[in-house]
């Protein structure tokens, strides 16, 4: 458990890990390839969307798994971000690229329906890897390689992956076939596909798969529905090493997977966070509510008179990302912030890191006199400790909780300058919002398969520097 004032630095790094930048090259760890190898955006660009990932589980009797994958993409000159990975570009030229990154490993036992082959075994969950990546680009294709090692203390294992891909454009369709080999060490394979002596039964012998090499073949595709909307898809096949296939808990077969998603590209004809754009500062304070976020947004519930009376205080910084999209009264702003939970003695106070993209609409008839904005932010939230209200509600329903969850931030505000007649303060706003964490109905491994969350109604002041 992370504690003390040192948490904000770690939390910021962790939330960055969980969002990551978009190189458009070989997928790290065991991530769905749709996120890593489609939706290419230009430097300074960004995109958002969602995808469904389907795969036949390697575990005997586990059937097909379905996973919701939020897509958050940003491609900077030095930093890159995507749904499951964040990293730094150590060196990039037209022909090559060298990165360091942190990535979520989409691997582990089923969470909802445990097959008989795994009954009585200690759970093996997803992990977090640190890694290095390199690619060499030529007209005939791209060679890539990544080296990753477990950073979360689960498997303690490592993996080296190398391969080839080719980018092929046909009109609005972009195809990317790829071939890769991955060497996994014994620690990684034994953790996910071995049977410990304490887990052995008369029908399930103790077993260590040992190290091995997997072969992978895949095809990703992006189709331009419009200038900004992208339809994403992909299929892949993985042949596990002989040691893993021989495990008593593994089906001896090739693992097939598919993905289908939709994303919106913010980058064409717009610079992301260009020089000269102002820094936005936002401070907020709020209380927990038993109202659902949808009830608050529909003006049906505003009560903060809860039994626990927990509170949140936060400071956020942001940059205008896109202003007046397509000439509409619609802006996009990127935010990152640290939030402090005041748990009122129910548990130790803790930190939370949030990172999200927010859309603001201000096209109301009276906005020329008093600018009024409706906002909706979408991103990720990582908590040092699961907030008390989430832990309480999830335990009451017999459900799991997670420190990493999806983040929503709906709000409404007005210009203070317009309200009091001081034009220099027109970009200072006073408003109300909801800080909402949720697990997208338990459909996402990235978010811990949590079905539930928390809501805090807050007031805030925002200004530009």
**CATH number, position 98:** 2.40.160.40
**405 in Cβ contact with 439 (< 8 Å):** yes
Q: Which of 258, 277, 262 is nearest to 331 (CA)?
A: 277
Q: Is 34 left (phi over 0), alpha (psi -120 to 50) or beta?
A: alpha
Query: Which stretches within 194-285 are classed as H helix?
Result: 242-245
Residue 89 lies inside a defined structural domain of this protein: yes
- Does residue 270 belong to any structural domain of this protein? no
> Which tokens go with 202?
């008369």
Range of the domain at 97: 7-265
| Angle (CA) 257 261 262, round 5° | 170
**What's the pLDDT at 31?**
47
Task: Tell me, yes or no, whether 153 lies in a domain.
Answer: yes
Which of 90, 112, 93, 92 lies closest to 101, judged by CA? 90
250 and 318 housed in the same domain:
no
Q: What is the CA radius of gyration of the chain?
A: 23
| 3 state SS of 398 | coil
CB atoms closer than 10 angstroms to residue 348: 12
Nearest to 292 by CA among 83, 437, 133: 437
254 and 318 both lie in a single domain: no
Q: What tokens does 270 get?
A: 């717009």
300 with 412, same domain: the answer is: yes
CA distance 412 to 433: 6
Look at the chain and report how many structural domains it folds into: 2
User: Which residues neighbour 171 within 8 Å (Cβ) at sequence distance 6 or greater?
Assistant: none
Largest distance between two CA atoms of the chain:
81
Who's near 89: CB < 8 A, 6+ residues apart? 23, 77, 78, 79, 80, 97, 98, 99
Q: How far apart are CA 34 and CA 167, in angstroms?
A: 14
293, 455 in Cβ contact below 8 A?
yes
| Same domain assignment for residues 259 and 347 | no
Closest CA to 227 of 25, 19, 47: 47
Give the Cα separation of 164 and 332 in Å (integer). 36
* Domain termination residue (choose one: 265, 289, 304): 265
Domain CATH number, residue 455 = 2.40.160.20
The SS3 assignment for 127 reads: strand
Same structural domain for residues 250 and 331?
no
Same domain? For 329 and 246 the reply is: no
How many other C-beta atoms lie within 10 A of the C-beta of residue 25?
22
Residue 304 CB burial class (10 angstroms; 0-12, 13-18, ≥19): middle
As a whole number of angstroms, the distance between CA 393 and CA 452 comes to 8
Last residue of a domain, one of 211, 231, 265: 265
Please, where are the H alpha helices in 134-241? Answer: 186-193
Residue 301 lies in a domain: yes
Pairing of strands 168-170, 158-165: unpaired
End-to-end CA distance of the chain: 36
Are 139 and 261 within one domain? Answer: yes
Tell which of 265, 296, 328 closes a domain: 265
Q: Do 123 and 257 lie in a common domain?
A: yes
Predicted pLDDT at 440: 64
Q: Do 72 and 357 contact (CB within 8 A), yes or no?
A: yes
Q: Does 1 map to a domain? A: no
**Which of 28, 26, 22 minimizes the C-alpha distance to 74?**
22
**Distance (Å, whole) CA 201 – CA 388:** 39
Q: Indicate the SS3 state at residue 321.
A: strand
Which stretches of the chain drop beneath a pLDDT of 70? 1-45, 83, 111-112, 267-276, 399-400, 440-452
Residues 316 and 454 in one domain: yes
Same domain, 378 and 459: yes
Extended strands (E) in 106-190 = 127-138, 141-150, 158-165, 168-170, 173-184
Q: What is the DSSP string of 335-356?
A: EEEEEEEE-TTSS--EEEEEEE
Residue 388 in contact with residue 365, Cβ under 8 Å? no
Residue partners of 384: CB distance under 8 A and separation at least 6: 1, 2, 3, 7, 11, 350, 351, 352, 403
Contacts of 310 (CB under 8 A, 6+ apart): 287, 288, 341, 342, 343, 344, 346, 387, 388, 389
Say if 310 falls within a structural domain. Answer: yes
Tell whether 163 and 256 lie within a shared domain: yes
Looking at the fold, whether 308 and 260 belong to one and the same domain comes out as no
């Amino acid at each position: 458990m992370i504690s003390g004032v040192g948490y904000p630095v770690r939390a910021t790094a962790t939330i960055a890990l969980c969002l990551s930048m978009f190189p458009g090259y070989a997928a790290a760890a065991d991530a769905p390839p749709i996120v890593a190898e489609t939706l290419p955006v230009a430097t300074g660009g960004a995109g958002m969307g969602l995808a469904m990932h389907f795969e036949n589980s390697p575990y005997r009797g586990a059937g097909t798994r379905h996973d919701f994958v939020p897509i958050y993409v940003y491609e900077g000159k030095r930093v890159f971000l995507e749904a499951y990975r964040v990293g730094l570009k150590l060196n990039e030229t037209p022909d090559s690229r060298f990165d360091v990154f942190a990535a979520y490993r989409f691997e582990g036992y089923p969470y909802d329906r445990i097959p008989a082959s795994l009954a009585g075994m200690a759970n093996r969950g997803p992990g977090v890897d640190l890694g290095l990546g390199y690619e060499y680009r030529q007209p005939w294709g791209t060679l890539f390689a990544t080296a990753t090692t477990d950073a979360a203390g689960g498997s303690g294992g490592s993996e080296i992956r190398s391969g080839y891909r080719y980018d092929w454009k046909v009109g609005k369709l972009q195809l990317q076939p790829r071939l890769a080999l991955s060497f996994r060490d014994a620690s990684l394979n034994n953790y996910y596909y071995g049977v410990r002596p304490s887990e052995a039964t008369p029908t399930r012998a103790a077993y260590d798969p040992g190290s091995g090499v997997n072969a992978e073949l895949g095809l990703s595709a992006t189709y331009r529905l419009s200038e900004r909307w992208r339809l994403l898809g992909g299929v892949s096949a993985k042949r596990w090493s002989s040691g893993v296939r021989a495990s008593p808990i593994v089906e001896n077969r090739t693992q097939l997977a598919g993905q289908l998603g939709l994303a919106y590209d913010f980058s064409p004809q717009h610079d992301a966070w260009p020089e000269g754009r102002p820094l936005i500062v936002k401070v907020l304070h709020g209380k927990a509510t038993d109202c659902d976020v949808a009830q608050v947004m529909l003006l049906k519930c505003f009560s903060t008179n809860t039994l626990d009376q927990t509170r949140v205080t936060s400071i956020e910084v942001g940059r205008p990302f896109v202003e007046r999209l397509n000439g509409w009264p619609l802006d996009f702003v990127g935010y990152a912030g640290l939030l402090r939970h005041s748990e009122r003695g129910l548990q130790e106070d803790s930190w939370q890191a949030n990172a999200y993209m927010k859309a603001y609409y201000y096209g109301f008839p009276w906005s020329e006199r008093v600018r009024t904005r409706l906002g909706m932010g979408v991103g990720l939230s990582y908590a040092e400790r699961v907030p008390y209200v989430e832990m309480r509600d999830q335990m009451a329903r017999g459900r799991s909780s997670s420190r990493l969850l999806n983040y929503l931030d709906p709000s409404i505000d007005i210009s203070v300058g317009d309200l009091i007649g001081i034009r220099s303060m027109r970009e200072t706003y006073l408003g109300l919002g909801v800080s909402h964490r949720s697990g997208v109905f338990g459909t996402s491994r990235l978010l811990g398969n949590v079905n539930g969350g928390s809501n805090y109604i807050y007031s805030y002041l925002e200004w530009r520097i």
